[in-house]
Amino acid sequence: MECIILNELIDYDGSQISSLWAYNLADVQADSIIAFRGACDVKIEHMIDLEDKKQGDIIFSTDMLHFIIEHFDSTDLKLVYARQRLFTAIVKEILSSRLSEIERRGDDLFINGNKLTVSIASTSAVSQKIHFGINVVHDYYGSLDEIGIKGDEIGILMNAIANVYFNEINDIEKDLRKSRPLDVI
């Protein structure tokens, strides 16, 4: 797995959730988590969550941290959704050191009842992907700014989150290689 932190700003428009975006962008030929900062404005044709699409939801933010995860080891929907929830829990764990009142509801985080994040997960015939976005600032929704995370801390946070997921996956891969099969009653 590779962990890549992009320094340039990239606006997330939903095309980045496509399979093989990482290869196209940076010749990545491994499972990967790629983190970057930029606005968020998901076009209707890139919406993966049909609930958003039905409701004509605007997924819009002027400044977000984005995490794009791609795994090629399986196209099982259940696995990518379990990983998405685990990623959400990881983000909560990291943010909780700054603010203990963060609440996780499924794949969403809330501060003071305000939605702080957006996320989606799905599969194609070749890979599984997760997008997770965290508002840096926002007029209406929750934001890192509201927790007091700003300036250089933003980049440090982006780095920390990407690396913790990277390490968690590597650690899982090692753990599952030392357990014998179950007995049966």
Residues of this chain that bind a copy of itself (CB under 8 A): 15, 17-21, 23-24, 28-31, 46, 48-51, 54, 72-79, 81-83, 85-86, 89-90, 92-93, 96, 100, 104, 106-107, 120-127, 129, 168, 171-185
Pick 2 or 146: Cβ nearer a copy of itself: 2
Paired tokens of 130: 């997760």
Query: Whose CA is closest to 65, among 158, 162, 166?
Result: 158
Please report how close the Cβ of residue 49 comes to a copy of itself at its closest, in angstroms. Answer: 6
Contacts with 181 (C-beta within 8 Å, 6 or more apart), sequence order: none
Three-class secondary structure of residue 12 per DSSP = strand
Pick 8 or 183: Cβ nearer a copy of itself: 183
Distance, CA of 86 to chain centre: 10
Pick 92 or 115: Cβ nearer a copy of itself: 92
Please report how close the Cβ of residue 137 comes to a copy of itself at its closest, in angstroms. Answer: 26
Pick 71 or 138: Cβ nearer a copy of itself: 71
Please report how close the Cβ of residue 98 comes to a copy of itself at its closest, in angstroms. Answer: 11
Contacts with 78 (C-beta within 8 Å, 6 or more apart), sequence order: none
Segment holding 75, helix H or strand E: none
